[in-house]
Structure 1
Amino acid sequence: MKPRARDLDIRIGQLSPGPLNAITDVPGVRVGHSNVRGRSAAGRDICTGVTLIEPRTGSTNRQPCFAGVHVLNGNGDATGLEWIREAGLLTSPIAFTNTHSLGVVRDALIALDRAQQPDDGRLYWNMPVVLETFDGLLNDINGFHVTAEHVAEASRNAADGPVQEGAVGGGSGMICHEFKGGIGTASRRLNSARGGWTVGAIVQANHGVRRELRVDGYPVGRYMERVDSPFLRAALPHPGMGSIVICLATDAPLLPHQCTRLAQRASLGLARTGGGNEDHSGDIFIAFSTGNAQIPPAAYESHGAPTCDGLRMVNNDHISELFLAATEAVEEAIINALLASDSTEGNGHSVPGLEGATLLSALKKAGWRGSL
């Protein structure tokens, strides 16, 4: 297993991570992957997949979470976001996949959830959240190789332990800062005086140009211009092409508008690593809170008098620490995604993985003397 940032003594930010330093440090959150690999009948390489983030055990449709979304740059696509903007409710797992598999993953999530529902004659509807980034350089994206079974496999693989990072699941064919990218995760836990809550982040990193890459504030990218492979420049007709999608989770009791504010802070974590400046990058972020455990599902049929539900929220005077936690977790998750990924070739393109020794050398050239 390749080292993560903290294994290299790169300690980003002020706050401490949770025990796994992953989004699964938020109680109840689970992550599963399905990898799709091989060669198509036309002889093209297949390198893609699905990553699934489950907010709660069981049907999220029956146990929704408050959620909010933020779009930094809309050169991308997603499903299910309008209902979150309108109602503030997340009613499905969140899936990451490639651009041309958005629809099949959405449909598969509906079918999986429908199979969990009791056959009680009630009307059923769902609008799952699926986020995408483009893997068409390393993957035969127009071959439509992701199927409903891969979504089901990601669901079966969902677990609450350590999260596999790098070229896995939806991140299999992604490129980040002109290195191999993919899935990365990190977390921050507030101390008990600040509430003791956790904020976790998971990213599908497929964005950025190399010269802009920053780690812990140091401009390492400019010291790694020569870390290349014979085909890399040809593989990227527009350096920085691609996107990044980010999911934030917290057990702090946030209302929907506060989740939106949390999602906005993903932009700061992205900026700290040197991303967020490319027109052709779709930068779409979602945040959800599991801190209110008894949010009722949407009513399919209205009967009787309206009800008022007892909900909790973090006072806005105490939310700044959660914003900082989100920023730091996103920043570290992106670096973890880079470090976890190996060099990859596909369809005539070759993309180098970022080795720990290469990053440490660049950090030292940029003036880094180790973490305090």
Structure 2
Amino acid sequence: MAVFGLVSSVAGFVKVRYLIDKAVIDNMVFRMHYRITSAILFLCCILVTANNLIGEPISCINDGAIPAHVLNTYCWITYTFTLPNSNSKAVAHPGLGNDYLEEKRIHAYYQWVPFMLFFQGLLFYVPHWVWKNWEEGKIRMISDGIRGTAATIADDKNNRLNRLVQYLVDTRHMHNTYSFGYFFCEIMNFINVVGNIFFLDTFLGGAFLTYGTDVVRFSNMNQEQRTDPMIEVFPRITKCTFHKFGASGTIQKHDALCVLALNILNEKIFIFLWFWFIILSVVSGLALVYSAAVILLPSTRETILKRRFRFGTPAGVESLVRKTQVGDFLLLHLLGQNMSLRVFGEVLDELSRRLHMNSNAPSAPSTLEMAPIYPNIDKYAKETET
């Protein structure tokens, strides 16, 4: 029950948030990082630390000269090892054999797996935390009352819509800093997932980069000739050497065989993470290309308005894109994710009309750019009426 309680606490990362209650301030790829990936890593951390699911994490056997609990504790807090060249069928287990002349492969990572998984979960949450603090609830505040796919037609809906459009007109060309924060956090997401791949490769002694491809290749090999790469990276049977003084004062060496039951879980976790990180890095790279096209190519913004939000005529869309900048478009894009197509279409129509009316008039300075407090828009509307 305790494990169930820990696992259920992770559900908050993947729970569904209705648009009418919480504004969406990012895209699906962004949410794959801080919501799905962080939840996966925290869940894996909980599973690894829940030793009661698989029994003791390590169990060592020797000739009986050393108490079992002492040997288990010693081998867990120090390290165990295997022999990379002893993978033939002439040995009792892969990686075991005479260690006097062969090179040893040290295994001490298992002590740090829970800490590493938890740390990675935090790393994937950091870009979202940075963007959330940078964004400061702007989308939530300026879309209050008209947000959601099932927005009701209330008496003040038109007033709220008009105030939103007026805010967009008055703060036009003043959201580039806002958009810079978003694109910067997207770059952080991509660097983070690629960096975590190399971080895991270093953590596992250079075996993670090719781990997934080795496992796929292993599944296609002849049953009698193949060697499981998961056993090489996460051995289930290892050796441990314990030294102590004998009765005559000489140092006695005691060899032990250790069963690492925890590696049954570790090998499944890391093969899943390999495929997930590869997919996430590719998707994040494509998201960066998409963002670069939005920044550099006005035609991309026109296509998004016409195809995704089904707005206006080609001439009207071209005019709206020409009169706005990247920061304005990002704000509109995020607003479109929080509104129904009908309501967002009304916003764009009214915005286009007002921009066309004001195209020949000089724009007045405004102080609303980075202070998106919805009540301030009410105050501004009253001042303009007087």
TM-score range relative to shorter protein = under 0.3
Structure with more strand by fraction: 1
Provide TM-score, normalisation by structure 1. Answer: 0.22
Greater helix proportion:
2
Larger radius of gyration: 2
Give the TM-score normalised by the residue count of structure 2. 0.22
